[in-house]
Amino acid sequence: MTLCRISIVMAAVIMAWPGLGLAEAAMETEGGDSGVPLPVIPRGQGDNCVADTEIMRRNHMTLLRHQRDETMQQGIRGKQYSLKECVNCHAVMGPDATPVTVASPKHFCRSCHDYAAVNIDCFQCHASRPESGNFPGDHDRSAALPVTQAVIRIK
Amino acid sequence: MNMNRKTKKKNIAGRPGFDPGRRSFLGAVAAAAGVTLAPGVFLYGVGASGPALAREPGVAVSGDVRWGMLIDLNHCDKGCNECVSACVEENGLKGHGRPATDAQWIRKVDIHDPDTGLSQSLPVMCQHCAEPPCVDVCPTGASFKRADGIVLVDRHTCIGCRYCMMACPYKARSFVHEELEDQKPHAPRGQGTVESCTMCVHRVDAGGQPACVEACGRKGGGAMLFGDLKDPGSEISKRVASYATQQIRADLGLDPGVRYRNLK
Amino acid sequence: MKRIIFSEIEGRSAGFRGLAAVLGLFFLTGLAAVMYVEHAGHHVTGGSNQVVWGIPDVFAMFLIVSASGALNVAIISSVFRKTLYKPLERLSCLLAVAMLLGGLMILVLDLGRSDRVIVAMLNRNFKSVFAWNLYLYTGFIAIVVVYLWLQMERRMNRFVPAAGMAAFLWRLALTTGSGSIYGVLVAREAYDSAIMAPMFIAMSFSFGLAVYNLVLLAACRGSGREIGDVLLRRLGRLLGIFVAVVLYFTAVQHLANLYAAEHSGVERFILRDGGIYTLLFWGGQVIVGGLLPLLLVFVSSRRGSHLSGRTVALASMLVIVGAFSQLYVLIIGGQVYPLTLFPGMEVSSSFYDGVVASYAPSLPEIGLGLGGVALAGLVVLFGIKLLRFLPTTLVNAAIDPHHAAISDKA
């Protein structure tokens, strides 16, 4: 059992790119008790997701990357898969009533990426939290929901 | 840009699409933006038609437009730095107290002719050339010219080799020498990549004008004008057609998009 | 001609171990310097928005230019059929590859985003000289490795002349590309000139041979192999000729620039007003790197006198000092001189317009540069220990069957 699980976990870590979808598939035989603490993913603000969690988990990188080229080279803005909107919606409030930056492990992206050990390059350049005036709660995003603790459901 | 949640619902299947509700919303936003920004434009050209309204969402930039700037040096004061401050504020160019390595996207240059004794002051930024040498030398193609003439650095592809900085005749580019945080969401910039004036693409794409032009109009001497050089009806086209304007280092044959009036 | 025998060096002496340790230390220091700069940001180096390519680039250019030049010895043997140089072929190829690797290491590690080298490989702008150079450098390594294998596999020796020709043409393209990095920069007065490419070719001949001489002399001396005076004479005088050619190109470059009023500003700066740059130009490049080795070699090898290994080594070292001076003046001197946005005007701004920028090499940069040199050294050192690169002997009788006739006449 151990050897099987070790190799599965290793395959999962190696295949963490693209997205966790493959990792989930790899772990489906075992369930979530591998001894590694599962990440705590804070729920996004607002009432609507851009797309299903499963789709986003698997494909968010591809969607972002395709859109970024469109934005950079053709100036097409405001489409769905905007990193800025991701950051705005998925901002996690810190103890000082401002959203945390990517330096904090509580950051939405980090909560998964730390677990999957996949480096995030985006926030070297992109702002990892919304501008003041755009914090969650600044706008009425249809009854701001409290940040709830969510756990990855590993089938 | 705060998209309607309603329109997001329609697109949940993952198909980005045009939505009339969204379009009219954007039109309203653009009109509101135009009204807010209008004082900056009006100060220079009364009754002038501002830059084109925002392109419809999903429409790429085209070569039918060429964005340019016209700066009248008779209205540019030596002591005034409004354009520089506006740029720093708009793009989050926090200084670190190290002038040799801190980024400067626009700067005021004071020139003095030793033969005639004439002194002038002018803002210099990326000239958004039609034949940019920085684009030619970039090994990865990160430095590129958009169809509408704005020269940008795609920081996703930039490897930080600084060859473009060597190639630029206007010393327009800066290298980010330190780790950055809390960048402006509309102006991403990061350690190890090269950057320069973007002509505030985020504003231009939304139908506005660069922060420096706006600040000059509002708080400075009203020397700067921004517009579409290919539109014969735009204020800037009318002006460059009616009196002589100069480009810096025109001899290099780069055809910059930034023109100066009364540059001696 | 007698069959040349190559052998590995023993590589067990204290000298060998000491050298390996020193080189290893420098290499690790180089890596540590890179880690430090990556972590703290490039502001800890001497580089700025005015001088973007500093000492690491000087080292990298030296290594890359010398790499293509070091291959010359093998080229002279296989392409120009000078059998006297045949025993020197293998070491020449090894040195070429080693130095190119060192130069590449410095260039890649000096990037602002070295982690994006994959991006650089996948996205290509073919109008960029840098992009060509990436292919030229990697192709060079591949071609020279094949060339080397053809030499070492005796059954394939008949293909060596063809491979040598391919390597020669590629190496010319590579050095032209390296010179063109600067030559295409119309913005900078110090560079904008087509003469950059041929000048770099001339420099590569000179610097490459100087490094080769030093490595050959050191390796033979260290492993107790004798070098005959016929070969020494040839190597020394060849170096002298190459040095003369570089001096010629330098003269042409500066005279031509002086003639054009447009470039007179930067010429005045380098030739007279540049402080350290003027000192490095006249003192380092012209005198120490040019006239002195020239005199040394040709006076010591005049009719009837004997050009010793020590003289060749000294001349080579002087040439290398001159090489660094030349590259420093070219690369850094060319950047500190301000861009001319407004010809004829006095200019000032908050972004260092109109003033000569200041640059001082910082420790991390020097560390990186020396790290690249150390990598090249380690490759050569362990190469000659593990494989048969060095000929067992280079005495006159072994390499030149006619030498007796020549020395009788002399």
Q: Which of B112, B140, B194, B195 is the best substitution to test chain C (most C C-beta atoms within 10 A)?
A: B140
Is there a domain that residue C279 lies in?
yes
Closest-CA residue to C189 (of C130, C264, C128): C264
Total residue count of chain A as it appears in this document: 155
Q: Which domain holds residue B91?
A: 18-261
Task: Return the residue of A nearest to B15 by Cα.
Answer: A80
Q: For residue A15, what pLDDT band results from cuts at 50, 70 and 90? A: low
Q: Please tell me the total count of domains within chain B.
A: 1
Question: Model pTM?
Answer: 0.84
B96, B189 Cβ separation under 8 angstroms: no
Gap from C118 CA to chain B (nearest CA, Å): 10
Task: Return the residue of C nearest to B250 by Cα.
Answer: C341
Is there a domain that residue C102 lies in?
yes
How is chain B split among helix, strand and coil, in percent rounded to 5? 30, 15, 55
Count Cα atoms within 13 angstroms, Cβ side, for B168. Answer: 31
Is there a domain that residue C362 lies in?
no
Q: Which domain holds residue A93?
A: 2-151
What pLDDT score does C407 carry?
47
pLDDT along chain B (264 residues), means of 10: 45 47 55 47 35 67 92 92 95 90 94 92 95 94 94 94 94 93 90 94 92 93 93 94 94 94 88
Chain B CB contacts of C335 below 8 Å: 166
Q: Which domain holds residue C240?
A: 6-342+370-409
Closest-CA residue to C254 (of C160, C189, C338): C189
- Yes or no, beta carbons of B175 and C351 under 8 Å apart: no
Closest-CA residue to C311 (of C215, C217, C204): C217
Is there a domain that residue C358 lies in?
no
pLDDT along chain C (410 residues), means of 10: 80 90 97 93 90 94 96 93 90 96 95 87 85 92 95 91 95 93 85 84 96 95 88 93 95 87 85 92 95 93 84 96 95 92 88 90 95 97 92 81 50
Chains linked to B by 3 or more Cβ pairs within 8 Å: A, C
Greater model confidence, C80 or A131:
C80
C388, C8 Cβ separation under 8 angstroms: yes
**What number is the ipTM of this complex?**
0.89
Q: For residue A37, what pLDDT band results from cuts at 50, 70 and 90? A: low
Q: For residue A34, what pLDDT band results from cuts at 50, 70 and 90? A: low
- Yes or no, beta carbons of B111 and C52 under 8 Å apart: no
Interface residue B171 vs chain C (CB under 8 A): yes
What pLDDT score does C168 carry?
96
C279/C267 Cα distance (integer angstroms): 14
Is there a domain that residue B43 lies in?
yes
- Yes or no, beta carbons of B188 and A127 under 8 Å apart: yes
Greater model confidence, B233 or A29:
B233
Gap from A145 CA to chain B (nearest CA, Å): 15
Q: Please tell me the total count of domains within chain C.
A: 1
Q: Please tell me the total count of domains within chain A.
A: 1
- Yes or no, beta carbons of A51 and B156 under 8 Å apart: no
Is there a domain that residue B3 lies in?
no
Gap from A51 CA to chain B (nearest CA, Å): 5
What pLDDT score does C191 carry?
83
Asked if pLDDT for residue A65 goes beyond 50, the answer is yes
| CATH code: domain of residue C221 | 1.20.1630.10
Interface residue A46 vs chain B (CB under 8 A): yes
What pLDDT score does A35 carry?
63
Gap from B129 CA to chain A (nearest CA, Å): 17
| CATH code: domain of residue B37 | 3.30.70.20
What pLDDT score does C244 carry?
96
Is there a domain that residue B10 lies in?
no
- Yes or no, beta carbons of B140 and C124 under 8 Å apart: yes
The minimal CB distance from A127 to the residues B179, B183, B201 is found for: B183
Q: For residue A108, what pLDDT band results from cuts at 50, 70 and 90? A: confident
What pLDDT score does B31 carry?
52
Interface residue B69 vs chain A (CB under 8 A): no
- A96 CB-contact burial (10 Å; exposed 0-12 / middle 13-18 / buried 19+): exposed
